[in-house]
Amino acid sequence: MGKGILVNRQRMALQRLEAAYEKFKAAGEDKKPWTSAGGRYHKGRKFAEECKRMQDEISSLKEKISRKIKI
């Protein structure tokens, strides 16, 4: 996969994640527990924990994108 294609995919993922983060913040609720289609149980997260996780993921993606553009 070419570098340009990868950067575009990461930019699109960043846009989706930022939109999801804003929507989650606006709701202001904990992430509820859920069970996947395969039967795996996910325990959920507190609001502050999920915000921190999403912020970390956003900053990680921004760093990866900026590193690839400079090269």
Least Cα distance to 24 among 53, 58, 56, 50 occurs for 50
Q: Where are the domains of the chain?
A: 3-70
Read off the pLDDT of each residue in 66-71 and give the average, rounded to a whole number.
73
In this prediction the pTM is: 0.81
Q: What is the pLDDT of residues 38-64, one digit of tens each?
A: 999 999 999 999 999 999 999 999 999
Q: Which residues, 6 or more positions from 14, have their beta carbon under 8 angstroms from its beta carbon?
A: 58, 61, 62, 65
